[in-house]
Amino acid sequence: MQATDEAPPSSQFHSDADRSANDGPRRAAVYRALSNYKTARDRTGATFTDWKSARAAASTIKHEAVNNLDKYLEQFERNFTARGGKVFWANDSRQARDYILNLAKEKNVKAIVKSKAMTGEEIHLNEALVAEGFGVVESDLGEFIQQLKGEAPYHFVFPCMHLRRDEISDLFNRELGTAKTNSPEELTMIARKVLRRTYIEADMGISGGNFIVADAGMISITENEGNARLTVGVPRIHVALVGIEKVVPRLGDLALLLPMLATAGTGQHLTGYNSMYGGPRQPGENDGPEEFHVVLLDNHRTRLLADPEQRDALHCIRCGACLNVCPIFKNIGGHTYGTTYQGPIGSVITPHFRGLQDWKHLSGASSLCGACTETCPVGIDIHHHLLRNRRNAVTQKPTPLENLMWKAFSFLMRRPRLYSFATKVAPLAAKLHPLVQGTLADPVRVWTDTRDFPEPAAESFRTQFKRHQSTRASQTESTNTTR
């Protein structure tokens, strides 16, 4: 799934980025899908009386939550356990995996069904369960497809957005032996048929969680297919694996956050199903799991919490809007990132979660256009954090060649006379350019391989302006003399 085992993340990124940036048909498909998203989102966004204020309010809620994580998480734990739920605090992915594995073994679990949870991807939960002999089936349609394909999600909200219908049909035909079809309804029915059986057979359902509601002691799950309701409601054990930053103080906060998540995420007013889960089956109730465990996952989120400059990255509600507007994402696609969380927000947080030096290239791979920050529903300063990651990476460990280059650059730019001289020599140097053009010695080859480079003007502005000033001065003088 992750490329870390084979090649260093940065070389994997570079080669995949080059390849996908030249994959015209795939880029076009992604652009098409995201332009539909944009239309829907703009329409829904416009129904907010004041999106800006809504965004500021959402940001305030998350700010309060993130800056009082300890208080609200403990409040959640108290309220949730009071109804018989169990809470496990997982410092890292190993602890989280071990807890869920041991639980499955202890409770003699045979089959597991799982609804969409990026935290599961983050800790490589499925691989761990499968390695121990448990069968796990993803119940979200997109995740179901990706699981059949043996591929990581392409986008953390739209896992198989890169696939065409015929590719999905071929996949089902190959893996499930179903007849080929081009109808989305029929494709959905194929998955549904497999999944219905799975819900009934599974004795453990694993989910993520969109919000942890402190005062209610509940987990909020938002979805469009109803698969999460069956995943958590039918099996006898429910495990929700949720990042600690998902906490919000009050149930009432969801009145704003749910519509904002739906609008920013998919362009819907609200997703099809919004459910609250507050504990296992209570005495006198007819359905629901016998046991309900919430695994609160840190896995280095507290590193981000410790950084006051970038702490607001924990506001993220994983709507994926920043991916949907990102020109980098649209051109390189999700898999290129090699991360659980793709796109701009992934480039901000992954270095904190998995090591700055190994993942700093993601922060470098940005034109800093700021479309992500503009669209973020909770006001995270995304693209400026990319700049801060770049700075932190250099402060920690400068790259020798770059270090030298910027020292030389700074030497020149601190000396106006030397710089002015350089502007005079530039046109001469440009005249020599054809001698090396296109060869390995060509200093601007990385540019000119795909684009033309402008020739320096015969005279720099400063030279032209000087002449202009003296002409004007003499004109004024002669006017004065004539007078």
Partner 1 sequence: MRITLFVPCFIDSLYPNVAMSMVKIFEQLGHSVEFPENQTCCGQPPFNSGYWEEARSVASKQLEAFKNADCIVSGSGSCGAMFKVFYPELFHGHALEAEAKALSAKTWEFSEFLVNKLNVSDVGARFEGRATFHDGCHGLRELGTKEAPRTLLRAVKGLELVEMGEAESCCGFGGTFAVKYPQISTAMAEVKCTSICETKADYVISNDSSCLMQISGWLNRNVGSVKCMHLAEVLAAR
Tell me the window of 163-171, 184-192, 385-393, 432-440 that interacts with partner 1 (CB under 8 A).
Answer: 385-393
Pick the binder of partner 1 from 220, 299, 342, 373 (CB under 8 A): 373
Q: What is the DSSP-derived secondary structure letter of residue 77?
A: H
Pick the binder of partner 1 from 64, 215, 442, 459 (CB under 8 A): 459
Candidates 325, 451, 449; CA nearest to 377 is 325
Tell me the window of 52-60, 213-221, 297-305, 443-451 that interacts with partner 1 (CB under 8 A).
Answer: 443-451
Written as six digits, the tokens of 398 are 């400068």
Q: Is 368 one of the binding residues for partner 1 (CB under 8 A)?
A: yes
Q: Is 31 one of the binding residues for partner 1 (CB under 8 A)?
A: yes
Indicate the residue among 150 and 308 with the shorter CB distance to partner 1: 308
Is-contact 273 165, C-beta < 8 A?
A: no
Is-contact 355 396, C-beta < 8 A?
A: no
Shortest distance, position 342 Cβ to partner 1, whole Å: 14
Q: Is 369 one of the binding residues for partner 1 (CB under 8 A)?
A: yes
428's CB contacts (< 8 A; 6+ apart) are: none
Shortest distance, position 251 Cβ to partner 1, whole Å: 35
Is-contact 118 340, C-beta < 8 A?
A: yes
Is 428 in a helix, a strand, or coil?
helix
Binding mask 322-361 toward partner 1 (x if CB under 8 A, else -) reads: -----xx-xxx-----------------------------
Q: Is 302 one of the binding residues for partner 1 (CB under 8 A)?
A: no
Indicate the residue among 125 and 332 with the shorter CB distance to partner 1: 332
Instruction: Give how many residues touch partner 1 by CB under 8 A.
Output: 63
Q: Is 421 one of the binding residues for partner 1 (CB under 8 A)?
A: no
Q: How far apart are CA 322 and CA 342, in angstroms?
A: 10
Q: Is 437 one of the binding residues for partner 1 (CB under 8 A)?
A: no
Pick the binder of partner 1 from 101, 194, 251, 394 (CB under 8 A): 394
Shortest distance, position 172 Cβ to partner 1, whole Å: 31
The DSSP result for 148-160, as a single string, is: HHT---SSSSSTT
Is-contact 209 246, C-beta < 8 A?
A: yes
Shortest distance, position 324 Cβ to partner 1, whole Å: 13
Q: Is 59 one of the binding residues for partner 1 (CB under 8 A)?
A: no
Strand partners, 222: 274
Indicate the residue among 269 and 391 with the shorter CB distance to partner 1: 391
Strand partners, 292: 238
Which 123-152 positions form the footprint of partner 1 (CB under 8 A)?
Answer: none
Indicate the residue among 146 and 339 with the shorter CB distance to partner 1: 339
Shortest distance, position 358 Cβ to partner 1, whole Å: 16
Residue 343 Ramachandran class (φ > 0 left, ψ -120 to 50 alpha, else beta): left
Measured CA distances, 341 to 28, 153, 347 (Å) = 22, 9, 8
Q: What is the DSSP-derived secondary structure letter of residue 209?
A: -
Indicate the residue among 19 and 105 with the shorter CB distance to partner 1: 19
229's CB contacts (< 8 A; 6+ apart) are: 223, 273, 275
Tell me the window of 141-149, 268-276, 342-350, 408-416 that interacts with partner 1 (CB under 8 A).
Answer: 408-416
Written as six digits, the tokens of 58 are 């959402």
Q: Is 10 one of the binding residues for partner 1 (CB under 8 A)?
A: no
Pick the binder of partner 1 from 285, 401, 414, 480 (CB under 8 A): 414
Candidates 421, 426, 435, 423; CA nearest to 455 is 426
Strand partners, 211: 220
Pick the binder of partner 1 from 1, 7, 21, 29 (CB under 8 A): 21
Q: Is 82 one of the binding residues for partner 1 (CB under 8 A)?
A: no
Residue 243 Ramachandran class (φ > 0 left, ψ -120 to 50 alpha, else beta): beta
Is 177 in a helix, a strand, or coil?
coil
Q: Is 475 one of the binding residues for partner 1 (CB under 8 A)?
A: no
Q: Is 290 one of the binding residues for partner 1 (CB under 8 A)?
A: no
Residue 279 Ramachandran class (φ > 0 left, ψ -120 to 50 alpha, else beta): left
Q: Is 270 one of the binding residues for partner 1 (CB under 8 A)?
A: no
Which 85-124 positions form the footprint of partner 1 (CB under 8 A)?
Answer: none
Q: How far apart are CA 387 and CA 364, in angstroms?
A: 8
Indicate the residue among 84 and 456 with the shorter CB distance to partner 1: 456
Hunting for tokens 């919430």 — which residue is that?
Answer: 294
Pick the binder of partner 1 from 410, 471, 475, 476 (CB under 8 A): 410
Q: Is 447 one of the binding residues for partner 1 (CB under 8 A)?
A: yes
Please count the residues of the chain. Answer: 483
Measured CA distances, 86 to 81, 209, 240, 295, 317 (Å) = 6, 15, 10, 8, 24
Note the Cα 158 to chain centre separation in Å: 11
Pick the binder of partner 1 from 26, 236, 390, 433 (CB under 8 A): 390
Indicate the residue among 271 and 375 with the shorter CB distance to partner 1: 375
* Phi then psi dihedrals of residue 46, to 5 deg: -70, -20
Which residues of this protein are in contact with partner 1, per CB under 8 A?
A: 17-18, 21-22, 27, 31, 327-328, 330-332, 364-371, 373-374, 384, 387, 390-395, 398, 402-403, 406-407, 409-410, 412-416, 419-420, 423, 426, 446-447, 449-457, 459-462, 464-465, 468
